[in-house]
Structure 1
Amino acid sequence: MTTDLPESPADSDPFDALRPRLFSAAYRMLGTRADAEDVVQDAWLRWRQNTDRAAVKSPEAWLVTIVTRLSIDRLRAAKAEREAYVGWWLPEPLVETLDERTPETAAELASDLSVALLWVLERLSAEERAAFLLRQVFDHDYDEIAALLGKTEAACRQMVHRASERVQQTRARFDVPHEAHRRVVEKFMRAAQSGERDAIQALLAADVELVGDGGGKVPAIFKVLHGPYRIANLFWVTARRWGTQAVYRHALINGEPGLLRYVGGQLESALAFATDGERIVGIYAVRNPDKLAHIPQTLPR
Structure 2
Amino acid sequence: MDTATVARFEASRNRLASLAYRLLGSAADAEDTVQDAFLRWQAADREYVEVPEAWLTKIVTNLALDRLRSAKVRRERAVGAWMPEPLLDGDPMLGPADTVEQRESVTLAVLTLMERLSPVERAAYVLREAFAYSHAEIAEILGITESGSQQHTHRARRRIAAAGNGTDIDHASARRIVEAFVDAASSGRTERLVALLTDDATGISDGAGLAEKLIRYSTPERIASAARAGFKPSPAKRRFAGGSPSIHAVVINGCPAMLVTLDDRVVGVVILEIRDDKITGVRSIAAPDRLGRLTEEWQRQEHDVPLIESW
Q: TM-score, normalised on structure 2?
A: 0.77
Amino acid aligned to 1:80: R
Relative distance call for 1:266 and 1:60 in structure 2 (3 A) is closer
Distance of 1:12 and 1:182 partners within structure 2? 41
Q: Is the CA contact (8 Å cut-off) linking 1:121 and 1:129 kept in structure 2?
A: yes
Would you say 1:116 and 2:116 are equivalent positions? Answer: no
Distance of 1:131 and 1:296 partners within structure 2? 31
Structure 1 residue 93: deviation in Å? 1.7
Task: Give the superposed CA RMSD.
Answer: 3.4
Q: Is the CA contact (8 Å cut-off) linking 1:109 and 1:255 kept in structure 2?
A: no
Distance of 1:18 and 1:280 partners within structure 2? 36
1:230-270, CA deviations, whole angstroms, 9 ceiling, x for partnerless residues?
Answer: 2112212333474995753223423543112469x996532
User: SS at the partner of 1:258?
Assistant: strand
User: SS at the partner of 1:140?
Assistant: coil
Distance of 1:182 and 1:221 partners within structure 2? 31
Structure 1 residue 136: deviation in Å? 0.8
Distance of 1:137 and 1:17 partners within structure 2? 19
Would you say 1:39 and 2:33 are equivalent positions? Answer: yes
The one of 144, 156, 179 equivalent to 1:163 is 156
Amino acid aligned to 2:132: D
Partner of 2:147: 154
Distance of 1:20 and 1:277 partners within structure 2? 33
User: SS at the partner of 1:166?
Assistant: helix
User: SS at the partner of 2:231?
Assistant: helix
Partner of 1:4: none
Higher relative contact order (CA 8 A, sep 6+): 1
1:1-301 equivalence runs, <5 A: 13-53=7-47, 55-57=49-51, 59-77=52-70, 78-85=72-79, 87-95=80-88, 105-106=91-92, 108-111=94-97, 112=103, 113-169=106-162, 171-178=163-170, 179-214=172-207, 217-219=209-211, 222=214, 224-240=216-232, 242=234, 248-261=247-260, 268-276=267-275, 278-296=277-295
Relative distance call for 1:218 and 1:278 in structure 2 (3 A) is same
Q: Is the CA contact (8 Å cut-off) linking 1:180 and 1:277 kept in structure 2?
A: no
Relative distance call for 1:52 and 1:296 in structure 2 (3 A) is closer
Distance of 1:229 and 1:14 partners within structure 2? 53
Relative distance call for 1:53 and 1:90 in structure 2 (3 A) is farther
Q: Is the CA contact (8 Å cut-off) linking 2:68 and 2:74 kept in structure 1?
A: no
Higher deviation after alignment, 247-256 or 187-196: 247-256
Q: Is the CA contact (8 Å cut-off) linking 2:269 and 2:286 kept in structure 1?
A: yes
Q: Is the CA contact (8 Å cut-off) linking 2:15 and 2:95 kept in structure 1?
A: no
Q: Is the CA contact (8 Å cut-off) linking 1:167 and 1:173 kept in structure 2?
A: no
Distance of 2:67 and 2:213 partners within structure 1? 28
Distance of 2:133 and 2:265 partners within structure 1? 44
1:70-128, CA deviations, whole angstroms, 9 ceiling, x for partnerless residues?
Answer: 0000111144332453x3411122247xxxx6xxx346455332212211112212111
Relative distance call for 1:253 and 1:262 in structure 2 (3 A) is same
Q: Is the CA contact (8 Å cut-off) linking 2:9 and 2:38 kept in structure 1?
A: yes
Amino acid aligned to 2:178: V
Structure 2: any 5+ residue segments left out of the alignment?
98-102, 239-244, 297-307
Relative distance call for 1:32 and 1:295 in structure 2 (3 A) is same
User: SS at the partner of 1:260?
Assistant: strand
Distance of 1:188 and 1:220 partners within structure 2? 28
Partner of 1:3: none
User: SS at the partner of 1:29?
Assistant: helix
1:9-39, CA deviations, whole angstroms, 9 ceiling, x for partnerless residues?
Answer: x888332222111111111111222211111
Q: Which protein has the bigger helix share? A: 2
Amino acid aligned to 1:161: H
Identity among equivalent positions (%) equals: 35
Distance of 1:239 and 1:68 partners within structure 2? 41
Amino acid aligned to 1:290: D
Distance of 1:247 and 1:142 partners within structure 2? 47
Q: TM-score, normalised on structure 1?
A: 0.79
Q: Is the CA contact (8 Å cut-off) linking 1:218 and 1:287 kept in structure 2?
A: no
Amino acid aligned to 1:40: V
Relative distance call for 1:200 and 1:160 in structure 2 (3 A) is same
The alignment of Structure 1 onto Structure 2 pairs a total of residues equal to 282
Distance of 1:253 and 1:205 partners within structure 2? 20
